[in-house]
Amino acid sequence: MGLLSKPIKTLDDLFVHTLQDIYYAEQQITKALPKMISKATDPMLKQGFEMHLEETKNQVKRLEQVFQMHGQPAKAVTCPAIDGILEEANDILGDVKDNDVIDAAAAAAAQAVEHYEIARYGTLVAWARELGRDDCASVLEQTLKEEKAADAKLTDIAESRLNRLATQR
């Protein structure tokens, strides 16, 4: 925690801190997705990433809405978890040479990102409800549903196409 950050004493402080963490994470994902789009060769995967980039931009706006509803400035705090997950995604996409194997690796890397978000939004929804902020919970839940759907779609593309194509190399 930075020297100027507010100390975390209550569940409300923890909720706000976690909003700031996922706000940073969504911004980093917005920056990382164009590279994944350019690396992907399978048309369904590429299109899935393009759609998810648009969804992610909207999720950033939703977080700004939640900050406002909760009377807090929209602020990002560095999230070492997403930095590590995206660093690993970047490393693996650099290490694999064959296009079909890159697609399988890219889908798996994206699923690690989705699962981080599912964990965080799941927690945020539960904390918002406990804090009596059902209004914030319902906005955060829209994103949680999108992340789960994105993960399920990646499983479907990987298991129906990408993994099979990658074994032919």
Interface positions with a second copy (CB under 8 A): 1, 7-11, 13-14, 17-18, 21, 79-85, 87-88, 91-92, 95-98, 101, 104-105, 108, 111-112, 114-116, 118-120, 122-123, 126-127, 130-131, 155, 158-159, 163-164, 166-167, 169
Q: Give the residue with the Cβ less far from a second copy, 61 or 126.
A: 126
User: Shortest approach of a second copy to residue 69 CB, angstroms?
Assistant: 18
Shortest Cβ 62–a second copy spacing (Å): 20
Select 67 or 116, whichever has its Cβ closest to a second copy: 116
How crowded is residue 32: how many other Cβ atoms within 10 Å of its Cβ?
Answer: 21
Distance CA 121, CA 129 (A): 12
Q: Please give the torsion angle defined by the CA atoms of residues 123, 113, 110 and 80, in that order, rounded to the nearest 10 degrees.
A: 180
Q: How far is the CB of 36 from a second copy (least distance, A)?
A: 15
Written as one letter, the residue type at 35 is K
Nearer to a second copy, 73 or 132 (CB): 132
Contacts of 35 (CB under 8 A, 6+ apart): 90, 93
Whole-angstrom CA distances from 78 to 20, 82, 134, 135, 141 are 8, 9, 27, 26, 23
Residue whose CB is less far from a second copy, 13 or 61: 13
